[in-house]
């Protein structure tokens, strides 16, 4: 995987979408950009924006990683869990450019500024864009997710203190399986279960705002209450689940 290659993992996150956001990336490259080097270095990077979207943070993660990789003859392998980033840079981008940055529906391409930056950073490089499942136990993706979410949840200064972003020899990196892109079967099953739950018909939606728990018949009602606030909310599939969740959240507020 790593022979004469530069390995990159990326991820992005946004609270509220749009809302506060963060991105994370990991770059694993031969030391001093030397072909055939047995020594590799690893660098973690991250950042934050006050008002952004998941998609913009996914793009920014890739841009930031490519920005610090020197030009070389190495193949760059970028692993992302973002279908938006992957499809955009490998498929959609060609049509967008040809059509003057318009979609097939003749609308302006969203995030054009970042797409143009990504195209520029990719120029004259051999980049292999690879999809890796999110939240299925792939070490590089998991770490990038932690970096992105930490930046989304706090200030850059506090995030850097908490994360202690690594920059040094691969041999000393604490995540020893960082180059393993195989997934955890248990996490894949868990993700599939969550996906099935997401598509199931809701009995109701429960929200917690300002210490007050309420139920809603539709997602639109729930969204109207929680949007733009510090809130908890959850879709429930039965009356029993609804009552248990209300009791749990009510009890939590009393502590």
Catalytic residue among 58, 137, 216, 242: 58
Between CA 137 and CA 168, with CA 146 as vertex, the angle to 5 degrees is 95
Q: Is 153 annotated as a binding residue?
A: no
- The one catalytic residue among 41, 44, 49, 145: 145
d(CA 203, CA 241): 9
Q: List the catalytic residue out of 44, 49, 81, 242.
A: 81
DSSP 59-82: HHHHHHHHHTSPP-SSEEEEEES-
Select which of 11, 41, 44, 49 is catalytic: 11
What is the layout of strands, in order, in the sheet containing 75-80?
127-131, 75-80, 5-14, 19-30, 40-52, 167-169
Q: How many CB atoms lie within 10 A of CB 207?
A: 21
User: Active-site residue among 134, 135, 153, 184?
Assistant: 135
CB contact set of 234 (below 8 Å; sequence gap of 6+): 205, 206, 245
Q: Is 81 assigned a catalytic role?
A: yes
**145 noted as active-site residue:** yes
- Asked if residue 240 belongs to a known ligand binding site, the reply is no
Is 12 part of the annotated catalytic residue set?
Answer: yes
Binding residues: 11, 58, 81, 145
Q: From the annotation, which residues make up the binding site for Mg(2+)?
A: 11, 58, 81, 145
Catalytic residues: 11-12, 58, 81, 135, 145
């Amino acid at each position: 995987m790593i022979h004469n290659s530069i390995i990159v993992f990326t991820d992005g996150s946004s609270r509220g979408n749009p809302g506060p956001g963060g991105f994370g990336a990991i770059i694993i490259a031969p030391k001093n950009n030397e072909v055939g080097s047995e020594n590799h270095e690893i660098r973690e990077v991250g950042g934050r924006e006050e008002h952004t979207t998941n998609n913009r943070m996914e793009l920014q993660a890739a841009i930031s990683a490519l920005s610090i990789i020197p030009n070389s003859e190495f193949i760059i392998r970028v692993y992302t869990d973002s279908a938006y980033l992957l499809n955009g840079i490998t498929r959609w981008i060609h049509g967008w450019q040809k059509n003057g940055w318009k979609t097939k529906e003749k609308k302006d391409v969203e995030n054009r500024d970042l797409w143009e930056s990504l195209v520029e950073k990719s120029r004259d490089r051999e980049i292999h864009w690879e999809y890796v499942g999110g939240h299925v136990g792939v070490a590089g993706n998991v770490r990038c997710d932690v970096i992105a979410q930490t930046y989304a949840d706090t200030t850059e200064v506090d995030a850097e203190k908490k994360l202690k972003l690594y920059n040094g020899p691969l041999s000393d990196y604490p995540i020893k399986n960082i180059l393993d892109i195989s997934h955890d079967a248990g996490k894949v099953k868990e993700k599939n279960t969550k996906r099935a739950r997401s598509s199931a018909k809701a009995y109701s939606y429960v929200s917690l705002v300002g210490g007050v728990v309420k139920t809603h018949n539709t997602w639109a009602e729930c969204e109207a209450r929680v949007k733009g606030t510090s809130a908890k909310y959850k879709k429930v599939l039965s009356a029993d689940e609804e009552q248990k969740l209300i009791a749990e959240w009510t009890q939590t507020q009393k502590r």
